[in-house]
Amino acid sequence: MPDAILDDISHRRYNPLRGSWVLVSPHRNKRPWQGQEEAASENTLPRHDPSCYLCPGNKRAQGDVNPDYKTTFVFVNDYSAVKEAQKDYKPLDQHGSRFSLFHAEAVKGRCYVVTFSPSHNLTLADLSPLEITHVIDTWTALYTAHLSPLSSLAKLASPTTLPLSSPQASPFRPKQQYRYMQIFENKGAAMGCSNPHPHGQIWITTSLPEEPALELEQMQNYHRKHGGTHLLGDYAALELQQPQERLVCSNSSFIAVCPWWATWPFETLVIPLARLRALPEFSEEQRADFADIMSDITRRYDNLFETRFPYSMGLHQAPLEGSEAEIEASYFHVHFYPPLLRSSTVRKFLVGYEMLAEPQRDITPEQAARRLRDCGGEVYRKRLEEG
């Protein structure tokens, strides 16, 4: 447990999941703020917006019309960041040459959009755990549909695909084997989200992206050095010891903490208590508990400053295709990276020192967890509507 003095002095904390450091400066939180302020999020939105390209029955940018879906809806992004069909690229072998500094590799893939609900005015914080379960089932179906048949996880996964009733079902059969699937959500204009309709994205690539690659390397190193135990499993066990200063909420299957090494002011990490490598391994109880803790943490975020709290959220799990060592060392977890610092309009910026030296934060993770613990219960919007 950290010494009390760390609440008052600048210090560095080590992030074993990335092998990096973060500078903590708790005294800076007292400084006056005269910088940029974000516009407060709009609390009143229509249930259906005729101009929204994600609402049921509406036309999207490329002219396709959304079906009258009732739970989730998946389609290939009309403006995907990676393409499945493109020209092959094989760089010349320039080993030992100065020109090897100009290294590039081709990346193929798919980008999906997943709506969380047909209702334009709801977010994960507004959805019930049962409704969030539909989202988790959709994530699981897509992961399973793209999972390598050679992976040890394929033996545990049921041969699930998207519902055959979906008019977009056929495009989700992969044309080749992909390496990694990144499931994520950008919520709020402060995180670059241009549409408030509740939705996330799934990018699937032939490459292993840098962030999960860093984590996977660290988890493999830890697994080898500590007799086969798992970094995040050991970390979760430590966080459950008293006084549980960074614990935000928990249930029988998951905990949510402001991690010791957090960079963002109210950053949280969701970790399963029993080791899970990927979504297909979840039992019915674990899937229900995962939906419950996702509902809990997102409500706490919204309640903190009584706003639709912006964040980037992402799932990290075993690669779709990988070595046995990679699959064995994998440990499912969820990152929430929210930018707000002092209020619904004052955000944290990673600039200057953070870009040129190392990340820095003001409020300590222990202080952040204390504030989030006090924000439980139903989402504030319901109280306002009832009042």
Helix/strand/coil percent split, the chain, to 5: 30, 15, 55
Structure tokens at 311: 């964040």
162 within 8 A of 142, measured Cβ to Cβ: yes
Place of tokens 């610092």: 341
Q: Phi/psi at 15 (nearest 5 deg)?
A: -105, 100
Question: According to the 3-state scheme, what is the secondary structure of 170-211?
Answer: HHHCCCCCCCEEEEEEEECHHHCCCCCCCEEEEEEECCCCHH
Packing angle, helices 284-305 and 365-373, rounded to 10: 100
Q: In 3D, which of 320, 123, 279, 111 has the Cα closest to residue 202?
A: 111
Separation between Cα atoms, residue 216 and residue 319, nearest integer Å = 9
- Beta strands 109-115 and 180-187: pairing type? unpaired
**Distant-in-sequence, close-in-space partners of 39: CB < 8 Å, separation ≥ 6:** 189, 345
Question: Is 199 noted as a catalytic residue in this protein?
Answer: yes
- E-strand stretches of the chain: 11-15, 20-24, 73-76, 109-115, 180-187, 199-205, 247-250, 254-257, 268-272, 311-316, 333-337, 360-361
Q: What angle do CA 143, 77, 194 make, to 5 degrees?
A: 115
Q: Find all residues with CB under 8 Å of 133, minimum gap 6, and list them.
A: 287, 288, 291
C-alpha span between 296 and 311 (Å, rounded): 15
8 A C-beta contact, residue 88 and residue 107 = no
Question: Are β-strands 109-115 and 199-205 bridged in parallel, bridged antiparallel, or unpaired?
Answer: antiparallel
- Identify the active-site residue in 199, 316, 333, 335: 199
Tell me, letter by letter, the H, E, C secondary structure of 108-166: CEEEEEEECCCCCCCCCCCCCHHHHHHHHHHHHHHHHHHCCCCCHHHHCCCCCCCCCCC
Supply the residues annotated as catalytic.
199
